Amino acid sequence: MERHTNPAPDVPKWSALLVEAVNKPGLIMKAYSAFHHYSIGNQLLAMIQCQLRGLEPGPINTFPGWQALGRCVKRGERALILCMPITRKSRDEEASANTDEANGEHTYTAFVHKPRWFVITQTTGDEFAPPRMPEWDADRALAALDIEQITFTDTDGNCQGYARKRQIAINPVAQLPHKTLFHEAAHVILGHTTEADFTDTERTPKNLREVEAEAVAMLCCEALNLEGAEYCRGYIQNWLCPALGYNGDAIPEKSAQKILRSADQILRAGRLQPEQDEQGE
Ligand SMILES: [Zn+2]
């Protein structure tokens, strides 16, 4: 079970961060190359704070984390705020997902925002070589996500790909095969394919599920510097602004969380380097 606490008033909502990423080409690419050990949501949070404070984006760590690397946080530097999961125990009378546990005690994951991280330029000390950008492999990602790529059999020439349960198919002549792969994999991870089958044509209605899948594809394309982010961006912007001006509220906060988490899962699943977890404490 997960509970999201309301972030501090000066911390932007996930939907606001996502709209920022949609409207600022290059933001995700920069955030991913600087902060790829962190979740996409935290990458965006870190990036926005760096921009607001005029800090050069780069490796980040906690105070003790930098100490362990032989570096010291400079006097007077303010920590960046990131979101971190913590496991909590609670005993309450409310019905909950895990009440089957004995004596009514159960654990849940809460997400809290804490000011604990510093960019390398806020520190001094031993030289530090930033970790290399991990490479990403589609086959590895699909295997890790338990998604099977099957042969494309649709006869509709407009169809770019489709997703059925945990299977996806990509049209061999799709315009941007990796973008379609991200989009269809997103439908699976977002849970859409347990609701209905998906065949994506140029005429697919612009409903929220399509925007969710397309936003995941945009985040993945841009993080990995693959062609297609612009196409996704145009689609989402069209949906966000039916008339004039962008409406950040058009993406529900819950959808924004799902989008960021799904993109994160796809990116982590395909990494060729051993997984390095987000440094929490
Ligand atoms: Zn779709």
Ligand 1 mean position, distance from CA 239 (Å): 14
Mean of the per-residue pLDDT values of the chain: 85
Ligand 1 mean position, distance from CA 37 (Å): 28
Ligand 1 mean position, distance from CA 98 (Å): 34
Condensed to tens digits (0 to 9), the pLDDT of residues 34-46 reads 999 899 999 999 9
Ligand 1 mean position, distance from CA 267 (Å): 19
Condensed to tens digits (0 to 9), the pLDDT of residues 220-256 reads 999 999 999 999 998 888 877 654 455 555 788 889 9
What mean pLDDT is predicted for residues 48-77? 95
Single pTM value for the model? 0.84
Ligand 1 mean position, distance from CA 254 (Å): 19
Ligand 1 is an ion; residues with CB less than 5 A from it: 200, 210, 213
Per-residue pLDDT at 179: 97
Long-range contacts of 180-183 (CB under 8 A, 24+ apart): 180/217, 181/138, 181/149, 182/216, 182/217, 182/220, 182/221, 182/266, 183/213, 183/214, 183/216, 183/217
Ligand 1 mean position, distance from CA 42 (Å): 26
Per-residue pLDDT at 243: 47
Selection from 267, 216, 278, 276 nearest residue 18 by Cα: 216
Ligand 1 mean position, distance from CA 227 (Å): 18
Least confident segment among 83-97, 113-127, 246-260: 83-97
Ligand 1 mean position, distance from CA 234 (Å): 15
Predicted confidence band of residue 106 (pLDDT cuts 50, 70, 90): confident
Ligand 1 mean position, distance from CA 13 (Å): 25
In angstroms, the CA 191 to CA 224 distance is: 24
In the chain, % of residues over pLDDT 70: 81
Contact of 166 with 147, CB cutoff 8 Å: yes
Ligand 1 mean position, distance from CA 197 (Å): 10
Predicted confidence band of residue 18 (pLDDT cuts 50, 70, 90): very high
Ligand 1 mean position, distance from CA 109 (Å): 30
Per-residue pLDDT at 279: 47
Ligand 1 mean position, distance from CA 213 (Å): 6
Cα-Cα-Cα-Cα torsion 16, 19, 24, 28, nearest 10 degrees, comes to 80
Ligand 1 mean position, distance from CA 157 (Å): 16
